[in-house]
Amino acid sequence: MDNPFLAVAPPEPDPFIAGTPRREPLTFTGRGREYFGIWIVNLVLSVVTLGIYSAWAKVRRLQYFHRNTSLAGSAFDYHGDPRAILKGRIIGLVLLLAYNLSFDVSLWLGIVTLLLLAIVMPRLLMRSLRFRARNTSWRGLRFGFDGGLREAYSVFLLWPVLSVFTAYLLAPIWHQRLKTYQFRHARFGATRFAIQLRESSFYKIYGVALLVGMAAFLLALVATVGVVAAAGTLGEGRATPLMLGLAVVGLMWLLLALLVWPYVSARLQNLVWNNLTLGPHRFQSAVRVRTLYLITFTNLLATVFTLGLFMPFATIRLLRYRIESVTLLAGGPLDDFLAAPGQDVAATGEETADLFDVDIAL
């Protein structure tokens, strides 16, 4: 038999030696050139349809990413219904507009809108976590998310409010609660994920990020003032404080994106995956901060110099690195996973996007 899979994935009758997990790295076969085609066709169709196609575009994009990601010789898949995503986008747009405009009209309308948002948002976000999980599969088994509403209100309402009122001193705890909520209630088929995250790990990451961020701000300030002083225009009233402020803010965003984001996202990914378990299996994530800095920096440069056309290539580069940094440490045969009872594909069906199916990007 000339089955290429026999070389990739032996049907696993292999003797498992206790205590020595088998390493199964995630592999990513997406290519910038291919994704560019998908991206540009998606973009054109989205523009022509005034954004309506963007929901279908998102499904194709995620399908491309999922199906090009393999574990132990089998690809992931994405099954989201574009109509649910479109609904999510319309809801999101309406909420954004309501939030931005209501306070302009009157204070009371603003407060009512804010209250409404506070009630609705946690439920929507919980729903979209569920949607995202349920529509992801590997080897024909769906992932799932069973997080409850009470915890959703705690994670998406109570903790954000608490961290705002403590000048973001509690923000790392909020993030810890959020990640715990997201993964502790996740499952693959009938097998539950488990996660142990310590608050102190988040404080460590955000502490360093804060230092880097302050350095970025100082750098932006010094650079702007330096440039203005060098041009000798500060004294003549040409550069208004408004312009100066805008320059500092713009440069700061750039430096934050370049200096803070790679650090935080590398550390966070490692933290979450290294503390995650799925039944007898563990994960290992080895994203290196300096590699992520390099990728981010070169991606930004190339994107700017190609007026955005490099963006799909940049996406693929970043995704490949982040995905291929993750390894599954299999503590048993991977064939043993079972579908959740009553949750097999035929029963839930892709066509049964119910009224409350929404997907709001987190």
Partner 1 sequence: MSTSRSEAIPALYFDGRSARPHAAQLWLEGDVLRLEAADLSRSDPVMSLRVSEPMGRAPRLVSFPDGAHAEIRAHEQFARLLQQSGHVDRATVRFAFDARWVLASVGLLLLLVWAGGRWGLPWAAERVAPLVPRLAVEAMSTQALALIDERLLEPSTLDADVTARLAETLAARTDVPHRLYFRSGGPVGANAFALPDGALIVTDELVALAPDDEAVIAVLMHELGHVELRHGLRMMLQGSAVALIMTGYFGDVSNLLATAPTYIIQSGYSRDMEREADDYARRKLLAQGRSPAVLADMLERLASAHRDGGDGPSGWLSSHPDVAERVAALRERSAPR
Q: Provide the minimum distance between the beta carbon of 183 and partner 1 in the complex, in angstroms, as a whole number.
A: 20
Strand 141-145 relative to strand 136-138, pairing: antiparallel
Q: Provide the minimum distance between the beta carbon of 49 and partner 1 in the complex, in angstroms, as a whole number.
A: 11
Is 140 a binding residue for partner 1 by CB under 8 A? The answer is yes
Q: With CB under 8 A as the contact rule, which of the stretches 18-26, 269-277, 278-286, 345-353 interacts with partner 1? A: 345-353
Q: Provide the minimum distance between the beta carbon of 100 and partner 1 in the complex, in angstroms, as a whole number.
A: 4
In sequence order, the 6+-apart residues with CB closer than 8 A to the CB of 269 are: 285, 287, 322, 325, 326
Is 277 a binding residue for partner 1 by CB under 8 A? The answer is no
Long-range contacts of the stretch 242-250 (C-beta < 8 A, 24+)? 248/220, 248/221, 248/224
Is 337 a binding residue for partner 1 by CB under 8 A? The answer is yes
Integer Cα distance of 134 and 257 in angstroms: 31
In sequence order, the 6+-apart residues with CB closer than 8 A to the CB of 173 are: 159, 163, 199, 202
Q: Which of 16, 22, 25, 36 binds partner 1 (CB under 8 A)?
A: 36
Q: Which of 34, 116, 221, 299 binds partner 1 (CB under 8 A)?
A: 34
| Cβ neighbour number for residue 35 with a 10 Å cutoff | 21
Considering only residues 59-78, where is the footprint of partner 1 by CB under 8 A? 60, 63-64, 67-68, 73-75, 77
Residues 139, 337 contacting (CB under 8 angstroms): yes
Pattern of binders to partner 1 over 152-191, x per CB under 8 A?
-------------------------------------x--
The full DSSP string for 108-170 is: HHHHHHHHHHHHHHHHHHHHHHHHHHHTEEETTEEEEE---HHHHHIIIIIHHHHHHHTTTTT
Q: With CB under 8 A as the contact rule, which of the stretches 126-134, 268-276, 284-292, 337-345 interacts with partner 1? A: 337-345
Q: Provide the minimum distance between the beta carbon of 157 and partner 1 in the complex, in angstroms, as a whole number.
A: 18
* CA-wise closest residue to 3 among 337, 14, 139, 11: 11
Integer Cα distance of 256 and 215 in angstroms: 10
Q: Provide the minimum distance between the beta carbon of 4 and partner 1 in the complex, in angstroms, as a whole number.
A: 6
Integer Cα distance of 350 and 34 in angstroms: 26
Pattern of binders to partner 1 over 80-99, x per CB under 8 A?
----------------xx--
Is 51 a binding residue for partner 1 by CB under 8 A? The answer is yes
Q: Summarize as ranges the residues that interact with partner 1 (CB under 8 A).
A: 1-6, 9, 11, 29-31, 34, 36-38, 40-41, 43-45, 47-48, 51, 54, 60, 63-64, 67-68, 73-75, 77, 96-97, 100-101, 104-106, 138-141, 189, 236-238, 240-242, 309, 334-339, 344-347, 361
